Structure 1
Amino acid sequence: MTTLPPLLWLQAFEAAARTLSFTQAGQALGVTQSAVSQRIRLLEDRLGQKLFVRHPRSLTLTPAGQAWLPSVQEAFSRLSEGTAEVFGPRSEAPVTLRATPVMQQTWLAPRLLAFHRAHPEVVVRLVSAIWPEDFGPEGADIEIRYGRGDWDAVTAVSLGGEHMLPACAPSVAERLAEPADLAGETLLHAVGFAVGWPAWLERAGMPDLDRRCGSLLCDSQVMTLSLAARGGGVALTHRRLLAARDDLVAPFALDVPSDEGFWLVRPTRRIVRPEALLLWEWLVADGSPGDEALR
C-alpha cells in the first residue's frame, strides 16, 4: 500500500490549490509563504510529479494537480465530518439547516423568525438545495427533505401529508371554469416530483389534455410559481401554499394526494449539539401532521 504523504504537506497543497497562492495559503494555515513552498516541494518530490506551474506572480495547477485536488478535498471533508460525528462540532459553530428554496420561503421562514426571536443566541446558517443529490449528512445539522422518508442512517420526522393542485394568477383563473378549460394554457412543470400534471389530469378524467397545452419545464417550484404569478401559465403546487400567498389562486378544488412529503432529517450517527437539538425540537413541535409545505 502506498504510504500517504504527511498531513502538513497535504494541507499545504489543498490551501495553495484553493487560493492559487503560496502567500494566501500560508495566511490560511498560519505559516509563512516559504514554509508552504517548502512543503509543496517535498510533496512533489514524494509523488514524483509537479503539482503547480510557478509563474512570476501566480500559480496554476498542473493536470496531475487538478486531477488529485478533488480527492484531497473530499478526504479533508470526510475527516472533518467523522470528527464531528464522534466528538461533535464546536459549540460556537452555527447550526446548519438545509432545505429547498420554496420550503425556506413558505413553511420555514415564519418558524425560523419565531425561533430567532425566542433564541437569539443560536446562530442558524441556512443552506439551499434543490435536487436529491444536494442533500446528505455532510455539512448540515438538520435537513428538510422531500421524499418518502426511506433514507438510511438518519432520524426522520414527517411534516405531514401532501396534496397537489393547480395554481395560477387571478387573471388566468377567470377563464378556467372547469379542467377542460386548461386546453390552450401553458402547464408549468417542476421536474423531480412523483406526482405531477399527468397524475392530476388523470384524476380529472382528462389524461390526454396536456397534448393541447403548452409546457415549460423548471427545476424547482420557485420558478413555476413565479411564472404562474406573472400570468405565464398554470403551476401544480401543494395546497397549503396558497394560504400564504396573495398572488396565486386555485381555479379548481380538485387535488391529488402524493406519497412523497417533507421530512425533518438529521444524521443518526452524529452527536447532536444542544443548539441543534433546540432548533430540531422547535421545528418538530411546529410541524404538526397535516401541515403542508413546498419543494
Structure 2
Amino acid sequence: MSKPYDLPSLGDLSCFECAARNLSFKQAAAELNVTPAAVSHRIKALEQELGQALFTRQYRGVELTEAGALLFVSLQRGFETISDGVARIRYRHDQAGVTIAATTAMSGLWLTPRLAAFWRAHPGIAISQMVQDGIVPVGPGAVPPDLSIHYGRPERESDETRVLFHDRILAVGSPGFARAHGIVAAADLLGVPLIHTLSGTLAWTDWREWFETLGWPPPEGPGFALNNYLISLQAAEDDVGAVLGWEGLVAGHLQSGRLVQLVPDAMISPCPFYLRIHAHASANARLFADWLVAG
C-alpha cells in the first residue's frame, strides 16, 4: 500500500525548518534541545534522501541553496496551515464555556436572573459575562464574545441575530414621588423632575421621544442626566424623579413595589433588545442563544 503523501521523515523536515529559519545549526539545536551534531545528522539524512544539498556550509554559518530555499518556503506554508488548524481546534475546545457581552443594565436586570435556570438545565456549560456600557476595542490576543445583547436595529448587523423582547416603555417612579407630585396622567409629568439616561453608545429612547410619540410637547421640568441605567433606576427609587422603564427590564422593580407605573400611557419601544450571534460562536453558544430566545 502506497503512502498518501510523498514526504521524508517529519522529524527531519522539522529539524530542517528550524535550521533554515535560524540559518544556524547551533541555534536550531538549542531550540530543539538537541546537540548540533544531531541537527547536522538529520540534515545530512534529508539531503541524502532528496539527492540535493540544502545548505551551503560556511565558516561562520550556513546559507540555503536554491533547493533549500524552495523546501523552506513550502514547509513554512504547510506549518502555518497546520498551526492555524491546531489553534482552531484549541479554541473550539476552550469554547466549552460561553462568553456573552451585555450592558450593565441588561446584565443586572435581565440576563443574570436567568442564568441559574440555564445552569440547572445545562450544568456542564459555563457562562462568562463581559459587562460593558460602550464599545470595547478587541486587541491582539483578545477573545471576542460568542454572543452579545443590544438595543437597536438588528437588521443592520452582518451577523445572525435573534430578537429577545420588544415591549412597551413606561413612565415609572417611586410611590412617594407619585404621591408628592400628584401624578395621575401624562400631562402631570411635563413639569416634574425627570431622569435622563445617557449611556455611552447605547441609544436609549429619551423622554422627548416618549412625549412626542404620545402627542405631548417636550417636558419643561428639571432634568437629571445619568450615564448608567441601573443608577437611573436607583435614583428613581430614591424619589429623585421619574424614569423611563422598559417592561422587560423593570419587571422586578414593579413586582416588588419599589417602582410603580406612574400613568397608564405607554410607548411601544421603537427598537427591540436582540441577541447577536457572532460568526465564531460555538455549538454551546448557539444552544444558550436558543434557550434565551425560547425563554
Measured against the shorter chain, the TM-score band is 0.5 to 0.7
Deviations 1:130-156 (A, max 9, x none): 23x248895201111111103443110
- Indicate how the Cα distance of structure 1 residues 128 and 217 shifts in structure 2: closer, same or farther if over 3 A, else same: same
| 8 Å CA contact 2:148, 2:275 repeated in 1 | yes
1:226 corresponds to 2:234: yes
- Indicate how the Cα distance of structure 1 residues 119 and 215 shifts in structure 2: closer, same or farther if over 3 A, else same: same
1:195 corresponds to 2:205: yes
- Indicate how the Cα distance of structure 1 residues 195 and 172 shifts in structure 2: closer, same or farther if over 3 A, else same: same
Structure 2 counterpart of 1:89: 91
SS of the residue aligned with 2:210?
Answer: helix
Matched length: 200
Structure 1 counterpart of 2:282: 273
Of stretches 89-98 and 116-125 in structure 1, the one that deviates more from structure 2 is 89-98
- Indicate how the Cα distance of structure 1 residues 116 and 197 shifts in structure 2: closer, same or farther if over 3 A, else same: same
Give distance in 2, aligned partners of 1:171 and 1:185: 13
In the TM superposition, what are the counterparts of 1:136-175 in structure 2 within 5 Å? 139-174=144-179, 175=182
Structure 1 counterpart of 2:185: 178
Structure 1 counterpart of 2:9: none
- Indicate how the Cα distance of structure 1 residues 139 and 156 shifts in structure 2: closer, same or farther if over 3 A, else same: same
Deviations 1:93-143 (A, max 9, x none): 431111112212222123211111222221111111223x24889520111
| 8 Å CA contact 2:214, 2:267 repeated in 1 | no
Consecutive unaligned residues in structure 1, runs of 5 or more: 1-81, 287-295
Instruction: Tell which structure's C-alpha radius of gyration is larger.
Output: 2
Give distance in 1, aligned partners of 2:132 and 2:268: 24
Taking only the aligned residue pairs, the percentage that are identical comes to 27
Equivalent in 110, 113, 116 of residue 113 of structure 2 = 110
Deviations 1:172-211 (A, max 9, x none): 1222122232254211011243631012222444313x22
Give the TM-score of the pair, scaled to structure 1: 0.61
Consecutive unaligned residues in structure 2, runs of 5 or more: 1-83
1:250 corresponds to 2:243: no
| Aligned-residue CA RMSD (Å) | 2.6
1:122 corresponds to 2:133: no
- Indicate how the Cα distance of structure 1 residues 116 and 223 shifts in structure 2: closer, same or farther if over 3 A, else same: same
Q: Which 4+ runs in 1 deviate beyond 4 A?
A: 82-88, 135-138
Give the TM-score of the pair, scaled to structure 2: 0.61
AA aligned opposite 2:194:
L
| 8 Å CA contact 1:169, 1:229 repeated in 2 | yes
Give distance in 1, aligned partners of 2:241 and 2:137: 30
| 8 Å CA contact 2:170, 2:261 repeated in 1 | yes
AA aligned opposite 1:89:
Y
Deviations 1:207-260 (A, max 9, x none): 13x22x111112231121110011111001212334321211111111112321
Of stretches 104-113 and 218-227 in structure 1, the one that deviates more from structure 2 is 104-113
- Indicate how the Cα distance of structure 1 residues 263 and 203 shifts in structure 2: closer, same or farther if over 3 A, else same: closer
- Indicate how the Cα distance of structure 1 residues 219 and 169 shifts in structure 2: closer, same or farther if over 3 A, else same: same
1:260 corresponds to 2:268: no
| 8 Å CA contact 1:141, 1:276 repeated in 2 | yes
SS of the residue aligned with 2:291?
Answer: helix
Structure 2 counterpart of 1:63: none
Give distance in 2, aligned partners of 1:232 and 1:267: 39
